[in-house]
Amino acid sequence: MIVPDSIYGAVILSIIDFLLSILMITGIGVVLYLFPLLNKLGKLDDQAIRNSSH
Amino acid sequence: MLDQILGFLKAMLDQTGVSHFWWGNIVMIAIGVAMIFLAIVKKYEPLLLIGIGFACVISNVPGSDLILPGGLFNYAYRGIELLIVPPLIFFGVGAMTDFGPMIAHPKLVILGAMAHLGIFIALIGAKILGFTINEAGAIGIIGGADGPMAVFVCVKLASHLLPQVAVAAYSYMALMPLIQPPVIKALTTREERLIRMKQMRPVSRLEKIAFPIVIGIVVNLFFPPVAPLITMLMLGNLFKECLVTDRLYKTAANDLMNVIIIILTVGIGSTMNATTFLTVKTIEIVALGLIAFLGGTASGVIGAKIMNLFLPEGEKINPCLGSAGIASVPIAARVAHVVAAAEDRENLLIYHAMGPNLAGVFGTAISGGIMLALLGVK
């Protein structure tokens, strides 16, 4: 166990977890901001994909 | 002769459940019936509460073989305990979910983390009440409002608390329409609830196909402890979005999901036996779970209001959206929409609320993953 089994440990765990969660989810948000760039690679047509699978 | 007959009758009676019936069973049967009542009359998440309520009733009838080892309800519980059911639930959820709102509005993704302060309020509260740090973590994750993730993390941290944690998580998720609105209303003004969101950009097929692949890589890279759940969520979603596996995605989203919901609900309900359930610890866990849900809702709304401080006029977000960041897809998104629609019926917030709501799933997974890593659990 890295975190001590005490109230102090619970507080430390909470602070680190909350801040890292915000950081990580912000990272996912940043990745999602870049998603529109994918559209520069081309366009996938839904109907064409469906037809090609039959 | 008469003594012999009476002896036989007593022996027979001892083999039935009647002689083992106690007041705790009556209390738990009443709770089970109340769940069924809420599901049928109030329409609170009937898919969850009917199964949980019924299994709760049956597991409190002494003598029921279904909950004993070898019984069908017991096998259902084993499926949860062995972590087979939670990833399959995520698989079905992924196949049912359109992540478009989350991809289209990355700004709202952060609400998926902000609405999880409840986890840590409950965690510290549990530690103050004398639970071990691992037990406190398992209790805290109830505040993530994500049933499968709560089960997953609880099994890893404190499997002996699984009945209480699972029941609290799923019951509160079902009761979100009662829990969240007062908190949202207390923390927002009418003007804030009237804020209309801008229309989102359309999300292309390529983006929707790339999303599960990218997230699958990121989660397995950074959060291996909780990767099985998110990976299955992404696999189900890829089946849906790639458009060439219609049969598989429809099976995952419908038939398989229905079977898993039945297994999940009776498995959870069957753990609600009075002997193990009616304890002070259970009351403490249930109370902490409620605090976690209230805290998470409040922190989400406050988080949205803080974001508004930095956003220019015309770009401000409806703070009701913050409450949806608590996960519990799609219940919390629906609640956010209903609260806003109560002020302005034409304010259709549901699609926007799905963004933070879906981000909340990742927020819970990330919190759970970090917690497991910090506690040294694999």
Confidence of residue A1 (pLDDT cuts 50, 70, 90): low
Query: Which residues from B are below 8 Å from A25, CB to CB?
Result: 109-110, 112-113, 359, 362-363, 366
Whether residues A39 and B376 touch (CB distance < 8 A) is answered with no
Helix runs in B129-256, H state only: 133-140, 147-158, 162-174, 176-187, 190-193, 205-222, 227-241, 246-250
Residue pairs between chains A and B whose CB atoms are closer than 8 Å: 132
User: Can you give the residue range of the structural domain that contains B132?
Assistant: 81-374
Query: Which residues from A are below 8 Å from B211, CB to CB?
Result: 35
Q: How long a stretch of residues is chain A?
A: 54
Closest residue to B113, CB basis, from A16, A22, A43: A22
Q: How long a stretch of residues is chain B?
A: 378
What are the CA-CA distances from residue B370 to residues A2, B1, B141, B153, B219 (Å)?
12, 70, 12, 11, 12
Query: Which residues from B are below 8 Å from A31, CB to CB?
Result: 214, 218
How far does B310 lie from chain A, in Å, by closest CA? Answer: 16
**3-class DSSP state for residue B229?**
helix
**Structural domain includes residue B176:** yes
| The two structure tokens encoding residue B257 | 């999901």
How far does B200 lie from chain A, in Å, by closest CA? Answer: 13
Statement: residue A54 has pLDDT above 70:
no
Burial class (CB in 10 A: 0-12, 13-18, 19+), B73: buried
Q: Is A34 on the interface with B (CB under 8 A)?
A: no
Q: Tokens 């690679």 sit at which residue?
A: A41
Percentages of chain A per state (helix, strand, coil), in multiples of 5: 80, 0, 20
pLDDT of residue B74: 93
**Structural domain includes residue B191:** yes
Question: String of b and e for A21-51 (b: at least 16 CB within 10 Å)?
Answer: bbebbeebbebbeebeebeeeeebeeeeeee
Whether residues B112 and A25 touch (CB distance < 8 A) is answered with yes
Encoded amino acid at B4, one letter: Q
pLDDT of residue B328: 85
Number of neighbours of residue B173 by Cβ within 10 angstroms = 24
Domain ranges of chain A: 7-52
Query: Which residues from A are below 8 Å from B222, CB to CB?
Result: 24
Q: Which residue in B308, B75, B34 sits closest to B192, CA to CA?
A: B308
Q: Is A19 on the interface with B (CB under 8 A)?
A: no
pLDDT of residue A53: 61
Who contacts B41 (Cβ-Cβ below 8 Å, separation ≥6)?
none
The chain B residue lying nearest A29, using CA atoms, is B106
Give just the sign of the alpha carbon dihedral B127, B129, B134, B135. Answer: negative
Statement: residue A52 has pLDDT above 80:
no
Percentages of chain B per state (helix, strand, coil), in multiples of 5: 80, 0, 20
The chain B residue lying nearest A40, using CA atoms, is B206
Rounded Cα distance, B361 and B329, in Å: 8
B90 neighbors B232 (Cβ within 8 angstroms): yes
B86 neighbors B144 (Cβ within 8 angstroms): no
Whether residues A29 and B109 touch (CB distance < 8 A) is answered with yes
**Structural domain includes residue B10:** no
Number of domains in chain B: 1
How far does A28 lie from chain B, in Å, by closest CA? Answer: 8
Rounded Cα distance, B257 and B254, in Å: 5
Q: Is A16 on the interface with B (CB under 8 A)?
A: yes
Cα atoms in the Cβ-side hemisphere of radius 13 Å centred on B362: 35
Rounded Cα distance, B296 and B291, in Å: 8
Closest residue to A29, CB basis, from B106, B124, B201: B106
Statement: residue A23 has pLDDT above 90:
yes
Query: Which residues from A are below 8 Å from B367, CB to CB?
Result: 17-18, 21
Question: String of b and e for B189-222 (b: at least 16 CB within 10 Å)?
Answer: eeebbebebeeeeebbbbbbbbbbebbbebbeee
How far does A40 lie from chain B, in Å, by closest CA? Answer: 10
Rounded Cα distance, A33 and B104, in Å: 8
**Structural domain includes residue B55:** no
Statement: residue A43 has pLDDT above 70:
yes
Closest residue to B374, CB basis, from A3, A44, A46: A3
Closest residue to A53, CB basis, from B134, B137, B244: B244
Q: What is the mean pLDDT of each run of 10 residues along chain B (378 residues)?
A: 84 77 92 93 88 94 87 93 93 94 94 94 96 96 91 92 88 87 96 93 95 94 89 96 94 96 93 90 94 95 95 92 91 94 92 94 92 88
What is the 8-class DSSP label of residue B378?
-
Whether residues A25 and B375 touch (CB distance < 8 A) is answered with no
Query: Which residues from A are below 8 Å from B113, CB to CB?
Result: 18, 21-22, 24-26
* Mean pLDDT, chain A, integer: 89
How far does B325 lie from chain A, in Å, by closest CA? Answer: 12
Mean pLDDT for A7-30 is 94
pTM of the model: 0.88
Three-class SS of B235-287: HHHHHHHCCCCHHHHHHHHHHHHHHHHHHHHHHHHCCCCHHHHCCHHHHHHHH
Q: Is A54 on the interface with B (CB under 8 A)?
A: no
